[in-house]
């Protein structure tokens, strides 16, 4: 009986070792794809408060072109429209070129709704980064904040694992990074003409090129999920 127990235990022990090794190799592979984050640059400025990055007070409609690429060769592109309703609601519709379909996603506070699977769920970043793409800073609250300045640029590291690295140029939010385990996992960068999202660990990226922005009086209630 004792021999039978040892013979049964050995395969289980080997399976456990293989599982641990597999998890470790997976973590190494993920870490190998994401570059190490650089130290926060600039002059220490603990007295400087981060600008209040909120949505513009009026509703906006943004027409854009988009393209999405993955390292394995998958890519998609098309047109889209974003409907932004302050203070904390937004909807993005993506249409594939050639009339091949599309999808939509809605941001309601810190909740992201993107039903039906498909390309939209692969394309869009998580809520804090999606809000940053629209110009709103909406990262999880954290007590640990380090602020540095360089001319009119303010950079800050907020939180610990993950660290949210925020960059402002003047009052404008221009970049948000998620750093985990000392590595840059994903980021959003925005200027007046385009928004770029890159998931370094997943080796995939999205570029949104703004075609036109316009004010909107109201949006149909039907565009917001209940």
Residue 100: the pLDDT is: 78
Give the pLDDT band of residue 193 (cuts 50, 70, 90): confident
Residue 116: the pLDDT is: 65
pLDDT tens, position by position, 136-175: 999 988 888 999 999 999 999 999 989 999 999 999 999 9
- Indicate yes or no: pTM above 0.85: no
DSSP-derived secondary structure for 85-124: ETTTEEEEEEEEGGG--EEEEEEETTEEE-TT-SHHHHHS
| More confident site: 186 or 23 | 186
Residue at token pair 């949006």? 219
Q: Residue 109 pLDDT > 60, yes or no?
A: yes
DSSP label at residue 78: E
How many helices (H) does the chain have, and how many strands (E)?
Answer: 3, 13
pLDDT averaged over the chain?
84
Q: Residue 30 pLDDT > 80, yes or no?
A: no
Average pLDDT over residues 176-186: 96
Q: Residue 216 pLDDT > 90, yes or no?
A: yes
Residues near 84 by beta carbon (within 8 Å), at least 6 away in sequence: 55, 56, 59, 60, 61, 62, 90, 134
Q: Residue 20: enclosing H or E segment and its boundaries? A: helix 2-33
Q: How far apart are CA 13 and CA 173, in angstroms?
A: 51
| More confident site: 178 or 56 | 178
């Amino acid at each position: 009986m004792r021999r039978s127990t040892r013979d049964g235990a050995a395969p289980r022990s080997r399976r456990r070792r293989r599982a641990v090794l597999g998890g470790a190799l997976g973590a190494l592979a993920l870490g190998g794809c994401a570059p190490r984050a650089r130290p926060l640059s600039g002059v220490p400025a603990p007295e400087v408060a981060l600008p209040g990055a909120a949505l513009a007070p009026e509703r906006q409609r943004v027409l854009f072109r988009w393209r999405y690429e993955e390292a394995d060769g998958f890519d998609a592109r098309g047109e889209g429209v974003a409907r932004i309703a302050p203070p904390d609601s937004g909807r993005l519709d993506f249409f594939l070129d050639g009339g091949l379909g599309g999808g939509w996603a809605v941001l309601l506070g810190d909740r992201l709704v993107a039903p039906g699977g498909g390309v939209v769920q692969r394309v869009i970043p998580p809520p804090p980064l999606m809000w940053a793409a629209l110009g709103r800073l909406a990262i999880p609250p954290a007590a640990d904040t380090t602020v540095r300045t360089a001319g009119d640029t303010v950079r800050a590291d907020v939180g610990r694992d993950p660290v949210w690295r925020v960059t402002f140029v003047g009052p404008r939010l221009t970049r948000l990074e998620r750093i985990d385990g000392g590595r840059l996992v994903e980021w959003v960068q925005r200027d007046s003409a385009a928004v770029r999202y890159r998931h370094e660990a997943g080796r995939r990226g999205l570029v949104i090129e703004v075609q036109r922005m316009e004010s909107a009086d109201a949006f149909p209630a039907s565009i917001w999920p209940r």
